[in-house]
Structure 1
């Protein structure tokens, strides 16, 4: 695929990502095991431990990149997102969208 100037781009450049209106909408759990539905974790692993830093950031990356608004509200927690944001590496477009909507995330990073 390429743009009007013939420069290559990927699906992630044009994909519509979900972003909540407010971080206060993110009221997901803070602890425990989360099992993602197949439509979010289509590539394999579905179970994540929120009390494990690696698991939590992996889960959040998946939800940020693949989730719909209701998934964000149900699975993400504002405090955990803000705490882990500097260590998360979501798709560049996702990071840009979220940091534009929520400058406090950019300042946390």
Structure 2
């Protein structure tokens, strides 16, 4: 399996001391889009890490968590779906650094944000 291009958008941080991680190609994001999933403890620090993807608020919350907590591209690839990310983008509550990092690489997301 080949390496997946990624960017650690440096001055942009997901939180202090952690660079926001961004993929170059949204089509590489092929995470689950239905069912109930359980995020790893490294991403979601609570006992019940189950997410019901049919519940829109849980789906959005999972995307927010993964976008902020991911430190590797494989975490983004494993849990996010490109088309779903585009659809949810304007609704997501994200730190400014995460939003700017992703919108710099994917201008279409900036347009989605402006339209929301």
TM range (shorter): 0.7 to 0.9
Aligned counterpart for 1:85 among listed residues 86, 89, 109: 89
Q: Which runs of 4+ in 1 moved over 4 A?
A: none
Which secondary structure does the structure 2 equivalent of 1:48 belong to?
strand
The whole-number CA distance in structure 1 between the counterparts of 2:48 and 2:92 is: 18
**Structure (1 or 2) with the greater strand fraction:** 2
The whole-number CA distance in structure 2 between the counterparts of 1:88 and 1:62 is: 10
1:3 is matched with none
1:98 aligns with 2:102: yes
TM value normalised by structure 2: 0.79
What does 1:1-109 correspond to in 2, within 5 Å?
12-67=15-70, 68-109=72-113
Please, what is the CA RMSD of the aligned residues? 1.8
1:6 is matched with none
1:30 is displaced (CA, Å) by 1.2
TM value normalised by structure 1: 0.84
Deviations 1:50-107 (A, max 9, x none): 1111000100001000112101001100111111111001111100100111000111
Structure 2 gap ranges (5+): 1-12
| Alignment check: 8 A CA contact 2:14 2:68 kept | no
Count residues in correspondence. Answer: 100
Would the alpha carbon gap of residues 59 and 43 (structure 1) be closer, same or farther in structure 2, given more than 3 Å must change?
A: same
